Chains A and B, each alone.
Chain A
């Protein structure tokens, strides 16, 4: 027991002391913070203002363009003049040219931009305005619709709310799918990353031949499990640091933009109070008036985070343990770095399967495919993590967890048999036949 602790200690310390560990530890929360901060920053500050000259030969559009925070529309005499301006004057960013068509409404417009200043922002704004102006033109001028009717037509939209039958509240499926996919992907990345660290570690010990010395003082099983545990603890440490640093980053961003968040929070509180009443009609009424931003935040608020954190730790831990010992076995088969492909494939295929099937699972998170993948042990850590945010029937969750708990010792047993036989075997091509014969012999 003391020896396995020594092995764990070595595996853990040599990895945690590497600069690459700390770089990864700091970079991931930084990236996360950036992803989180950029939309907020953009919401608060419009990045760049653009000036567009409009050369409208049709006469339908020019005076109807509305300048706004992002784009200012300026009239231009003709295309030639406007193009010259674009070339020579720095403050002009694009030229919109709408040629005239005899007796009909124009069907094409052209936006000139300078190749050193490409802009998608202007393109989007121009496109939106062109469609609106054209619709208005047809409704008001061609069909002579009254301004009351016009207001009715343009303001009428219908929003679809998908409601959970039990709670009568919006299920926020989009938000949950996003969260679910992220969770599934994190589990996949973690198992893959730390699993292959185990594999490389074992292969390094074998190819540097240090294993022959170590195996005299430590049993092969102790060495293998020491490595698996040590690297697992490195993974856990990294996760906790990520969680901690990300929390700091998020709180930092929120305090830096406190006014923006206070607004969103207020809106959530209003709808929360309204939806708490049991009256279905009142609930529906309250659902009818909310912005998209608050919808996202409300979606997040409606998710059971303690269940997610608990199952995340469970599936990360046992998903990793299930695969790590098998990765160790594959590492022990390596003779030189190139020949290990045939043995890594049977491991990476079941690991990647749920990720490859994610689009299909997104369509029906409780469909047959999702349920089966979330119960079969080799795919369950990723597939079940995908299903958790939607809520999973208790028996399925229990079955999935029990099967995983039962499979993990079995895999470790198989892996240790292979590892024990292969770790000291050099200069011989190992085949699948060898693997099976090792499993059968004592």
Chain B
């Protein structure tokens, strides 16, 4: 689905990504792990074509990624926001239309999602009246509304209470089962163990660990994922 070949990216003299290569299988959930500042968000921005890599390339379905392919991505950034003064539904429909949906299509799908998540009474409320967690829920719906085949979630669980985090996890699994490919970056090892098929650990701009979850477990039989994470990062320093 998505092949990342030898991506290198510098910001001035600072190296954010150093020769990073990854392969994301169609229909899998791919966990992108790493400590803060490792380069995860930069990699995601390059996949989204928000940032341009210095060298290397990203292949989408076997061909170099184009702007049209970006429309096939649903992206939930780590630092996320909405227009505070716009109404919830109006805003979600606007963002969906920017992704190419018609007004009618966007509205119908949004109704379904709002009923499904039992948040139908938020429909006409201004965003600023919603709590942070409520806004995150709306943002999640906005991300998946245009049914993108590739979903990228950057720290999707931050800011959610355990009940809603669980709800979100179930939704991600359901989307995967319906055929979507999911990349998500997180620090939360518990969620990785629960839902990821493959993982990659990025530290200091490089991929230091890469493989399916079961492979990684076999290589480190006595450790929890958390311990693997900490020891791998510590070994590098």
Which residues of chain B are near A135, meaning CB under 8 Å? none
- Contact between A213 and B79 (Cβ–Cβ < 8 Å)? no
Q: Does B163 contact A (CB under 8 A)?
A: no
Q: Does B50 contact A (CB under 8 A)?
A: yes
- Contact between B75 and A216 (Cβ–Cβ < 8 Å)? yes
Interface residues of B in 52-96 (CB under 8 A from A): 70-71, 73, 75-77, 79-86, 94-95
- Contact between A210 and B70 (Cβ–Cβ < 8 Å)? no
Interface residues of A in 408-424 (CB under 8 A from B): 424
- Contact between A217 and B77 (Cβ–Cβ < 8 Å)? no
- In Å, the complex CA distance between A213 and B98 comes to 10
- Contact between A212 and B80 (Cβ–Cβ < 8 Å)? yes
- Contact between A217 and B142 (Cβ–Cβ < 8 Å)? no
For chain A, what secondary structure do more than half of its interface residues adopt (helix, strand, loop), or is it mixed? helix
Which residues of chain B are near A144, meaning CB under 8 Å? none
Q: How far is the CB of A172 from chain B (nearest CB, A)?
A: 48
- Contact between A214 and B95 (Cβ–Cβ < 8 Å)? yes
The total of interchain contacts (Cβ-Cβ below 8 angstroms) comes to 58
Q: What is the chain B residue whose CB lies nearest that of A201?
A: B83
Which residues of chain A are near B26, meaning CB under 8 Å? none
- Contact between B71 and A209 (Cβ–Cβ < 8 Å)? no
- Number of contacting residues on B, CB 8 A? 28
- In Å, the complex CA distance between A213 and B83 comes to 11
Which residues of chain B are near A10, meaning CB under 8 Å? 94
Which residues of chain B are near A205, meaning CB under 8 Å? 83
- In Å, the complex CA distance between A115 and B80 comes to 62
Interface residues of B in 151-191 (CB under 8 A from A): none
- Contact between A212 and B79 (Cβ–Cβ < 8 Å)? yes
- In Å, the complex CA distance between A207 and B80 comes to 10
- Contact between B75 and A14 (Cβ–Cβ < 8 Å)? no
- In Å, the complex CA distance between A207 and B81 comes to 8
- Contact between B86 and A213 (Cβ–Cβ < 8 Å)? no
- Contact between B50 and A212 (Cβ–Cβ < 8 Å)? yes
Which residues of chain B are near A214, meaning CB under 8 Å? 95, 98
Which residues of chain A are near B50, meaning CB under 8 Å? 212, 215-216, 424
- Contact between A208 and B84 (Cβ–Cβ < 8 Å)? yes
Q: What is the chain A residue whose CB lies nearest that of B74?
A: A216
Q: Which of B70, B71, B81 contacts A208 (CB 8 A)?
A: B81
Interface residues of A in 202-231 (CB under 8 A from B): 204-205, 207-210, 212-218
Q: How far is the CB of A5 from chain B (nearest CB, A)?
A: 10
Which residues of chain B are near A215, meaning CB under 8 Å? 50
- In Å, the complex CA distance between A319 and B81 comes to 33
Which residues of chain A are near B99, meaning CB under 8 Å? 217
Chain B CB count within 10 A is highest, among A7, A14, A215, A217, for A217
Q: How far is the CB of B152 from chain A (nearest CB, A)?
A: 10
- In Å, the complex CA distance between A216 and B50 comes to 7
Q: Does B8 contact A (CB under 8 A)?
A: no
- Contact between B98 and A6 (Cβ–Cβ < 8 Å)? yes
- Contact between A217 and B71 (Cβ–Cβ < 8 Å)? yes
- Contact between A6 and B80 (Cβ–Cβ < 8 Å)? no
Q: What is the chain A residue whose CB lies nearest that of B154?
A: A212
